[in-house]
Structure 1
């Protein structure tokens, strides 16, 4: 809850309460407002964000945008994939593609935003939540942050431009995160390049006060202003501590070879990563590896275009509907994937995904 009780929160004109907004001095405050679903992004939320962020970008009413999430569980649990599955099962594939096109439009707007865009990435920040936060100009994580791109477990791939961030992470850290879908704490998010500063969760009001005084404050300056508990270094990062075997195992373009290296490694954490990848859709793992390698030479906009090309292929692939069923609908956690292992996914199948096939 905000201590500033004078703020008036309201939906964007013509939209519902899925996202609410307020003007807080020079700050335009945007709050994802579906706390029962950890603020999952349905189509209404996406359309609202695009309209209001565009309005603020082109006007003089605010000097910066601050995004947060309602409730105490997190910023955003991702996109509304259950609704997307229903569209796919009903044969309405274009409905799913329209959703992704709109969502990626918001991601591109955030990445190119002409004013400071501050994301308060407290609690759960997954999938689509990464797309509306990690492309911002100032990304704030806390000791409660759980950041992940877990899409390979539902037969999909890390989209919303996230592979651009992961491809430019140090060494092979981004590849590990993309293929395993592992959840990251605040220190790991800093190492990965998905965040700029780690602050205590209870420092939010102090952060807002600093931003009201200087909308263009940097992560380092914010850490200094907040003081105790603030960090902008990688101390305490699991990724940093395990980088040696990660860089060793994840090099190359063959998912089967990578999985074999992990499985045979002396480090227990490497074998755990192999087990995690082995539980995910082999098709998703193979295509994601190719996609992150391509993303290394792309801008955010180019990766979002690649995402939009891949989406239809995944929508038509049986693993997407099956993965969502196992994880989010029936919740039996026992998906029946099309392939038995990544070794069974042919190079031709991988390349077809990039052609929308």
Structure 2
């Protein structure tokens, strides 16, 4: 009896050329294509190669499977590495944010198919592209406060520049955008129905992305979130998270009360830092400056007990009962918030801006 050799594992990022286009597929469907460091490296290397390849006129990125483009970073890895000091996580963030920057400034059309779940790191590899397509299945969001962390991958920049205070609402509640919401909030550009999606992506092999969009995109309909602008803008314009929650509870609307309850379950430290990050991002001159800020915030967050605890509660033990430290907004020290924004040593800065 002979033992057959194990079949080689498929690459975590599939890359091929098809006509005039380079096709990238995130290939961890069982994990909803969650990103790890090798995937980040593979994406960066392939995009760098195609940037100067005259045979590749544009790039399209999709996710394997039916559940979504990408559910974010592989957060169990962050949980384990943070307890070991966070060196690997720091390297991951550095590589990931540089990839986000490359995508945002890519010299060729970068078409992101944001079908299904597009969360956290998934936003980073899609919403900075030049042609961003959503569908009726899209669920786009930055859920970081749920795990005691702060929106990153350029998410603070996108959220800070959403209309009114919608970005603040989404960041603090860890809310998700529908396809029409993503268009309204500046996370996407075009709506292609699922029934047309395969034809759209196939057509990119021969057509300019602008022509493919013209043929296959349709009207997305109204944004449900846009219809709630009045109370959201009023409540979230407050100067602190505690004041925001107070306004939400006094608003008298069931949607506002639900938002207050969602915020109340999140890490007080992460909420306070998130609000500060978004307010600062509004005043920054560029995405590059926002990514530099996020890198400082993320490194500081690695040493926060709430990051490990949040992942434990949501992903490891799944008891959904995090024990935040400190446990209340009133106990969050201004010095702890300031620590997240403190400059790093010159050699340690991300240095994109």
TM-score by length of 1: 0.91
Counterpart position of 2:58: 64
Pair 1:42 & 2:36 matched:
yes
Residue of structure 1 aligned with 2:196, choices 196, 203, 209: 203
* CA–CA distance in structure 1, aligned partners of residues 289 and 10 of structure 2: 31
Equivalent residue pairs, number: 336
Segments of 4+ in structure 1 off by > 2 A?
A: 208-216, 221-224
Counterpart position of 1:240: 226
Pair 1:355 & 2:342 matched:
yes
* CA–CA distance in structure 2, aligned partners of residues 216 and 127 of structure 1: 25
Pair 1:90 & 2:59 matched:
no
* CA–CA distance in structure 2, aligned partners of residues 223 and 270 of structure 1: 37
Counterparts of 1:165-176 in structure 2, within 5 Å, are 165-176=158-169
* CA–CA distance in structure 1, aligned partners of residues 38 and 191 of structure 2: 31
Pair 1:123 & 2:116 matched:
yes
* CA–CA distance in structure 2, aligned partners of residues 283 and 59 of structure 1: 46
Does the 8 Å contact 2:200/2:213 carry over to 1? no
Does the 8 Å contact 2:19/2:206 carry over to 1? no
Counterparts of 1:101-140 in structure 2, within 5 Å, are 101-140=94-133
Counterpart position of 2:3: none
Residue of structure 1 aligned with 2:269, choices 279, 283, 290: 283
* CA–CA distance in structure 1, aligned partners of residues 225 and 316 of structure 2: 32
Counterpart position of 1:343: 330
Cα deviation 1:234-268 (Å, max 9, x = unaligned): x3312111110000000033111111111221111
Q: Secondary structure at the match of 1:135?
A: coil
Backbone CA RMSD of aligned residues? 1.7
Does the 8 Å contact 2:111/2:209 carry over to 1? no
Residue of structure 2 aligned with 1:329, choices 316, 331, 335: 316
* CA–CA distance in structure 2, aligned partners of residues 261 and 127 of structure 1: 28
Structure 2 unaligned regions, length at least 5: 1-7, 345-353
Superposed displacement of residue 16, structure 1: 6.5
Counterparts of 1:133-152 in structure 2, within 5 Å, are 133-152=126-145
Residue of structure 1 aligned with 2:292, choices 305, 313, 320: 305
Go from structure 1 to structure 2 and tell me whether the alpha carbon gap of 1:326 and 1:248 turns closer, same or farther (over 3 Å shift).
Answer: same
Does the 8 Å contact 2:112/2:127 carry over to 1? yes
Superposed displacement of residue 209, structure 1: 4.4
